[in-house]
Homo-oligomer: A and B are copies of this chain.
Amino acid sequence: MTVRIGVIGTGMIGRDHTRRIQQVLSGARVVALSDYDPAAARAVQAGLVPEAQVFERSEDLVASDQVDAVLVCSTGATHEPYVLAAIAAGKPVFCEKPLATTAAGADRIVRAEVDFGKRLVQVGFMRRYDAGYRMLKQVVDTEIGAPLMVHAAHRNQSVPESYATPMAIHDTLIHEIDVLRWLLDDDYVSAQVVFPRRTRHSHAGLADPQLVLLETKKGVRIDVEIFVNCRYGYDIQCQIVGEEGLANLPEPMAITLRKDARLQNALLVDWKERFIDSYDVELADFIAAAARGTAVGPSSWDGYVAAITSDACVEAQESGKIVPISLPKRPALYDQG
């Protein structure tokens, strides 16, 4: 069976997922496109998938009987209604992060999906599909004993003036919030944010770097350095310290060069390259599950927990206090992986 996919939102990521489905992956094809700017949708249609239908209204795309499954790649504020519409239609839906712009919105999606009684939503936390994190999870599960601490870093070469202090949580830490829960099979109970001296390469609206301290239910202590004007590259670090040993996320593959009195590897500078392969894998997972009428991978619940945790981290940024995090009981629908 070939899964017929409708793509909502044809900006950079929507266009890229369309290309992926049409030209790279087996098992699906894009049959419908929509965008708040219909000309944008038509441009993607013309360039990548002439046989697709362009819908003026995304609600109609979701409802179309030509569409088996939906990709939500539109602007964040529209994610909630489109995901709810897909659930209402009983169609698998892949939603780029954030699942919703508020925890309450994410909660509404969780409730709708629980009421429907089957998983339909996959959230675009692509790091869970990265080969390095998958190798790390395998080692954490089998080699290093109970995890005790995590030392992580999320560094960008630079960010524009529009990137303000809370975005360090919502746009940057959000990835660690999800992937560390998954790596540790654990949840957060508190957050604290500490501000080092500001780099001279930051701007007025951004305290950069930041150090986020998280504590989990099982007692793991996590420190994540967020440093988005680090100058030297895009660099993701993750070290898990366990009772029996210590494991590190691999560096991206690079050529070791001896030249100019240096032993040197090029570092990535563009974040888009770092997890590019994982987009293929996450969508392949979505397609395979959608062919069975369901969804796997990062769930609505994961999106909801990420929203609650982010809110606590932003409160910790503002208050300077240790902010407790508490979650409602997880619905049984989300008990499997």
Contact = CB atoms under 8 A, between A and B. Distances in A.
Interface in A200-257: 200-201, 209, 211, 213, 215, 218-221, 223, 225, 227, 230-233, 235, 241, 243-251, 253-257
A264 B263 CA distance: 6
Contact of A255 (B219, B250, B269): B250
A245 B263 CA distance: 10
A220 B196 contact: yes
Given A146-B197, A209-B149, A267 B257 contact: no
Nearest to A231: B244
Interface stretch (A20-28, A101-109, A295-303): A20-28
A183 interface: no
Interface in A252-298: 253-267, 269, 284
Interface string A13-43: 0000000011111110000000000000000
A118 interface: no
A244 B139 CA distance: 26
Contacts of A245: 231-232, 257-260
Interface stretch (A73-81, A128-136, A308-316): A128-136
Contacts of A254: 135, 250, 263
A219 B253 CA distance: 30
Contacts of A175: none
A66 interface: no
A199 interface: yes
A185 interface: no
A194 interface: yes
A255 B139 contact: yes
Contacts of A148: 196-197, 199, 209, 227
A144 interface: yes
Q: Which of A136, A244, A250, A264 has the most CB of B within 10 A?
A: A264
A258 B246 contact: yes
A255 B197 contact: no
A151 interface: yes
Contact of A149 (B211, B218, B244): B211
Nearest to A213: B194
A196 B225 contact: no
Given A135-B253, A151-B151, A266-B262, A219 B197 contact: yes
A60 interface: no
A59 interface: no
Contact of A219 (B145, B196, B227): B196
A171 interface: no
Interface of A: 21-27, 131-132, 135-136, 138-139, 143-146, 148-149, 151, 157, 194-201, 209, 211, 213, 215, 218-221, 223, 225, 227, 230-233, 235, 241, 243-251, 253-267, 269, 284
30 contacts: A25-B25, A132-B253, A135-B254, A143-B259, A144-B259, A146-B200, A148-B209, A149-B225, A149-B227, A195-B221, A196-B219, A198-B219, A223-B223, A230-B246, A231-B245, A232-B258, A232-B260, A233-B258, A245-B259, A246-B257, A246-B259, A247-B255, A247-B257, A247-B258, A258-B267, A261-B266, A262-B262, A262-B266, A262-B267, A264-B264
